[in-house]
Amino acid sequence: MKEIEEIKKEFEEKIKTKSIEELKKVETHFLGRKGKVVDLFKTLKNATEENRKNIGQQINDLKSYVEETISKRLKELEEIEKNKLLANERIDITLPGIRLETGGLHILSKVMKEVEDIFLSMGFDVMTGPEIESDYYNFEALNIPEFHPARDMQDTFYLAKKILLRTQTSPIQIRTMEKYKPPIRIIAIGRCYRRDAIDSSHSPIFHQVEGLVIDKNVSFSSLKGTLLEFTKKMFGEETKIRFSPSYFPFVEPGAETAISCVICKGKGCRVCKYTGWLEMGGSGMVHPNVLKNVNIDPEEYQGFAFGWGVERIAMIKYGIPDIRMFLQNDLRFLEQFK
């Protein structure tokens, strides 16, 4: 009986352990095959007949008590362990998040898409052409012969004797008319190159949007209506358009086109240099020589064409003061248009 008491006391001490590993050892120590409780049963044979039953009962009680207590303690320790793990993995949802920067289209890409969408809505198709062009498409077929002074105006990057970086999107007119029969109604937006000195309005790399319509009964008023419609959609309903006589070898008559200043609404300001007008590019009725160069009969078909600067459109629409900003890749600039 005294031994039972002692074992119980020892057990009460050892069960206080805080580690699961330790607890397993305690279990073996008391309940294992050579454990203390099992040993107790062996002492039964020394007890007197009348005591045996009583002592046996008490050892059994001790055994159940030890078993139950250990399993209860094990559950407790496992719970503590689990909570510790959870505490480590806890996320404080009140902390400010980490903001991931998203990319966006370059402002020029956006403007080109706007331009395309407007002309698509007006029934135009979109064409493309190569940036490396031949002398024939960039000049000759456009009625700009070899010694024509217009070739001087376009300071050209030559790659070889008759191979160059296109100075305008107009060669796409020729490529289109060679490939498709009239009626033709297309625009072409693309990169152009000129050996211009760089300043706030000149860049050796820039973009143009070219328009070409060929059909029977196409007149100058079709040109005017088309550009006015585009202008209103791009810059606002109240915007006006002005044509003034100009010369381009591939059109006759040719006209410089301007829109009423979107900043001062035509009253005169710094942006329009107090003229009330902003120049956008050239236009005109396709020259009969150009039509002949692509085997279209100028007696049967007429057409109009125009070529506007894309950077110019973007600068006016979004109030961008310097053409160099498009190529500088300054995020402070680019992110304003995301």
Stretch that binds ligand DAH, among 198-206, 282-290, 313-321, 323-331 (CB under 6 A): 282-290
Minimum CB distance to ligand DAH, residue 232 (Å) = 20
Is residue 210 at the binding interface for ligand DAH, with CB under 6 A as the rule? yes
User: Across-strand partners of 134?
Assistant: 163
Q: Is the peptide bond before 204 cis (omega within 30 degrees of 0)?
A: no
Q: Does residue 282 belong to the site contacting ligand DAH (CB under 6 A)?
A: yes
Q: Which is nearer to ligand DAH, 193 or 248 (CB)?
A: 248
Closest CA to 221 of 241, 237, 246: 241
Of 306 and 326, CB closest to ligand DAH:
306
β-bridge mates for residue 281, sequence order:
257, 308
Q: Please tell me the distance from the alpha carbon of residue 146 to that of residue 139, in angstroms, as a whole number.
A: 8
Scanning 11-19, 119-127, 248-256, 322-330 for contacts with ligand DAH by CB under 6 A, the matching segment is 248-256
Q: Kindly tell me which residue out of 203, 260, 283, 293 binds ligand DAH, with binding defined by CB under 6 A.
A: 283
Cα angle, residue 226 at apex, residues 177 and 124 outer, rounded to 5°: 45
User: Shortest CA distance to 162 belongs to which of 130, 191, 143, 140?
Assistant: 140
Residue 210 CB, nearest distance to ligand DAH (Å)? 5
Verify binding: residue 143, ligand DAH, rule CB under 6 A. Answer: no
> x/- site string to ligand DAH, residues 249 to 278, per CB under 6 A?
--x--x------------------------
| C-alpha gyration radius of the chain | 45
In the region spanning residues 293 to 312, those forming contacts with ligand DAH, defined by CB under 6 A, are 305-307
CB of 234 to ligand DAH, least distance (A): 17
* Minimum separation from the CB atom of position 312 to ligand DAH (A): 12
Residue 170 or 302: the one with the smaller Cβ distance to ligand DAH is: 170
Q: Does residue 75 sit in helix, strand or coil?
A: helix
Task: Select from 168, 176, 226, 302 the one that contacts ligand DAH (CB under 6 A).
Answer: 168
CB distance 126 to 189 below 8 Å: yes
Q: Identify which of residues 254 and 266 has a Cβ nearer to ligand DAH in the complex.
A: 254
Please report whether residue 284 would count as binding ligand DAH according to CB under 6 A: yes
| Least Å from the CB of residue 318 to ligand DAH | 22
Q: How far is the CB of 328 from ligand DAH (least distance, A)?
A: 24
Tell me which residue of 330, 306, 308 sits closest to 111, measured CA to CA: 308
By the 10 Å C-beta count (0-12 exposed, 13-18 middle, 19+ buried), 66 is classed as buried
CB atoms closer than 10 angstroms to residue 189: 22
CB of 211 to ligand DAH, least distance (A): 7
Q: Which residue number, 30 or 250, has a Cβ lying nearer to ligand DAH?
A: 250
Tokens of 282: 């050239």
Residues in the interface with ligand DAH (CB under 6 A) total 13
Task: Please classify residue 294 by burial: count the beta carbons closer than 10 Å to its beta carbon, then call 0-12 exposed, 13-18 middle and 19+ buried.
Answer: middle
Q: Does 156 bind ligand DAH (CB under 6 A)?
A: no
Among 138, 143, 156, 170, binds ligand DAH (CB under 6 A): 170
Concatenate the DSSP letters of all residues of 140-206 into one string.
GGGT--TT-THHHHS---BSSSSEEE-SSSTHHHHHHHHHSPSSEEEEEEEEEE--PPPBTTB-SEE
Nearer to ligand DAH, 239 or 283 (CB): 283
In the chain, alpha helices (H): 2-14, 20-31, 36-43, 49-88, 107-121, 135-138, 150-153, 171-179, 220-235, 288-293, 310-318, 325-328, 331-334
Where do contacts with ligand DAH occur on this chain (CB under 6 A)?
Answer: 168, 170, 210, 248, 251, 254, 281-284, 305-307
